[in-house]
Amino acid sequence: MKNIVVVGSQWGDEGKGKIVDWLSEQADVVIRFQGGHNAGHTLVIDGKTYKLRLLPSGIVRKNKISIIGNGVVVDPWALLEEIKEIKDKGIDVNVNNFIISESANLILPFHKEMDEIREDSAGKSKIGTTRRGIGPAYEDKVGRRSIRLMDLRSEINLDQRLDSVLLHHNAIRKGLGKKLFQKEQLKKDLLKIAPDLLKFSQPVWMKIDKFKKQNKKILFEGAQGILLDVDHGTYPFVTSSNTVASNAATGTGCGPDSINYVLGITKAYTTRVGEGPFPTELNDEIGELLGTKGKEFGTVTSRKRRCGWFDGVLVRQTIKVSGINGIALTKLDVLDDLDEIKMCIEYELNGKKIDYLPASVEDQLKIKPIFKSFKGWKKSTNGVKNIDELPQEAKNYIYAIEDFVGAKISSISTSPERDDTILVENPFEI
């Protein structure tokens, strides 16, 4: 048995969807373990594009079981809409191939409103959230006042739970001069969709234990990237959950011994959506070229991504923090037209050289990158499937990344198409 966790080693948007889709063909079970519908995965299969936000990437494949774990926060209406969208494209979603943890916490309309209120009032201090209510929903979870999927089974229980959570939210809304949120219509709306959601509800921890006994291959699918981790990322410009690989166990209900291999998806350059530090950001024509050729727009929000050179210091750090065993390098072909390519190998902070990203956001905003330059290959790598067919300059760059970050590159993606991948080693077969 080999169970794999897939995480993003940068700020998200590394191309996890394609890699997870490729791995899901070999897996029996695919599980989302954190985040919400703020993280999008784009899959391109046989020329057809699927944009997933909550549904695990395995849903597009037959004879696979897809699971939303307890660590995910779920907007019930967004999920039902996504299920409808994917069904309209010919993908079946039923109780045999899709499960939601009964312990999953729900994102409700007042969470989204609170997200918007905070961002609008923050001015220059805004985080750059997707305004989908993810953060406020996680706050209610930790505050022990959240509505969970299981609460929809009983109208009496739901009524009491809504009283509890709205007592908190309406106190804040009143203080901010906002209209108080009314319970009754929300309760009716939730009870109306409850049967559509509860039919997928199961104790996921129990299902995982059963799958392990059956020697099924499990793929744990992370969202966002490690640099957005609430503990280990560029705080406070982070998401509201733990994006590191170890959260795959907590966010699904299994022990860390269930994880056999951690694959870090890593872009051949660096991008970031939203606010926050970005040491290697390029605000010039090269940054524009990377964004245009790489089609760097968010799957969920369509926001333009900030682009910059590959930051080896950051990726080396996230590899250690998340226990990454191997790297899937993506979007190599985006660099094809460049005369020179750079990689950050060190920082300078207050006149001193450092080899890690400091925890203080004040320091993160001050650091200056120190680069190593590589000669560009000026040849197309698009669609290449064998590493020997790559230009020597491209191989030099790849091997330099591998050597610097201290993790083996297990695969190299040379286009958005699923089959345009150079496989060095298969995590399921190690």
Which residue numbers are catalytic? 13, 41
Closest CA to 59 of 34, 25, 35, 36: 25
Tokens of 83: 């299920």
Confirm if 59 and 97 have CB atoms less than 8 A apart: yes
Confirm if 2 and 217 have CB atoms less than 8 A apart: yes
CA end-to-end span of the chain, whole Å? 11
Burial class (CB in 10 A: 0-12, 13-18, 19+), 46: exposed
What is the 3-state secondary structure of the chain? CCCEEEEECCCCCCCHHHHHHHHHCCCCEEEECCECCCCCEEEEECCEEEEECCCCHHHHCCCCEEEECCCEEECHHHHHHHHHHHHHCCCCCCCCCEEEECCCEECCHHHHHHHHHHHHHHHHHCCCCCCCCHHHHHHHHHCCCCCEHHHHHCHHHHHHHHHHHHHHHHHHHHHCCCCCCCHHHHHHHHHHHHHHHHCCEECHHHHHHHHHHCCCCEEEECCCCHHHCCCCCCCCCCCCCCCCCCHHHHCCCCCHHHCCEEEEEEECCEEECCCCCCCCECCCHHHHHHHHHCCCECCCCCCECEEECEEHHHHHHHHHHHCCCEEEEECHHHHCCCCEEEEEEEEEECCEEECCCCCCHHHHHHCEEEEEEEECCCCCCCCCCCHHHCCHHHHHHHHHHHHHHCCEEEEEECCCCCCCEEECCCHHHC
